[in-house]
Amino acid sequence: MAVLVVSMFLVPAHATVTCEQVTFWLTPCISYGVMGGIVVPGCCSGIKALDDAEKTNEDVRTACYCIKDRAAKIPGLNYDRVNELPGICGTTCPFKLSSSLD
């Protein structure tokens, strides 16, 4: 137990965003991106959590890469709907998601 407590303090305070976190936060948004309809509450809270977690340019790059990579694997994803989500959820996004995003 003591090792666990000590290791918690050794983790850098500004750890970068991971693809696993991005996937966890944005998974509730997939149904809107594919089918439209209503935005489930978990979607907006996930978008806001991701927005809050992006502290550095590296965080933004990682999130961008993860979103583009994982979105490409979702059959029927409508990028226009996906790009509506930040506005619907009251946040902003520094880029428009598309299959050709670099």
What domains can be seen in the chain, in order of their start residue? 17-88 (1.10.110.10)
Kindly report whether the global pTM for this prediction surpasses the value 0.85.
no
pLDDT digits (tens, 9 = 90+) for 39-96: 888 999 999 999 999 889 899 889 888 998 999 999 999 999 999 999 999 988 777 8
Q: What is the pLDDT of residue 21?
A: 95
**Tokens of residue 51, six digits:** 């927005």
Contacts made by residues 49-55, CB under 8 angstroms, sequence distance 24+: 49/25, 50/17, 50/21, 50/22, 50/25, 50/26, 51/91, 51/92, 53/17, 53/21, 54/17, 55/14
pLDDT digits (tens, 9 = 90+) for 21-36: 999 999 999 999 999 8
